[in-house]
Homo-oligomer: A and B are copies of this chain.
Amino acid sequence: MAMREMQEMCEAQRGTIVREALERIGDKWTLLVVGMLETGPQRFTVLRQRVPGISQRMLTRTVRHLERDGLVSRTVYSEIPPRVEYELTDVGRELLPPILAMADWALANSDRVEESRRAYDESAAQLAAAKQ
């Protein structure tokens, strides 16, 4: 087998691993929830308030998946009323810098993206009109 082929295989392997990881955390809520756990342990309800628009069901699902993957720990305090706290594990916390960097990127570029999108749609509309 040629060296180039081997390199391509390795590259594909890496790509697959990265893709699978991104599939885990690349849904609508996961990164946002992890980001909101930046400041320390959070209770379910507080977390729900901090993540704008998330439903109870989706928050439950998201933290369950994060717990399953070992990014978040779940601590139940046997009180009445019950109290549950979620906290990033070490693995989860290592993901924090890239997430925060992406959040910064989003805040810094949201208007530029918006504008690009508007311009794209407009020229697409003109093209469609020209066809008629």
Using CB atoms and an 8 Å cutoff, list the residues of chain A in contact with chain B: 11-12, 14-28, 31-32, 35-36, 50-53, 67-71, 91, 94-95, 97-99, 101-103, 105-110, 112-113, 115-117, 120-121
Contacts and interface: CB of A to CB of B under 8 A. Distances in A.
A113 B70 contact: yes
A102 B99 CA distance: 8
A31 B24 contact: no
A106 B15 contact: no
Contacts of A99: 98, 102
Given A102-B98, A113-B21, A116-B70, A15 B51 contact: yes
Contact of A110 (B15, B21, B107, B109): B21
B21 A31 contact: no
Given A21-B105, A68-B116, 7 more contacts: A15-B50, A17-B106, A21-B102, A22-B32, A98-B99, A98-B101, A98-B102
Nearest to A28: B23
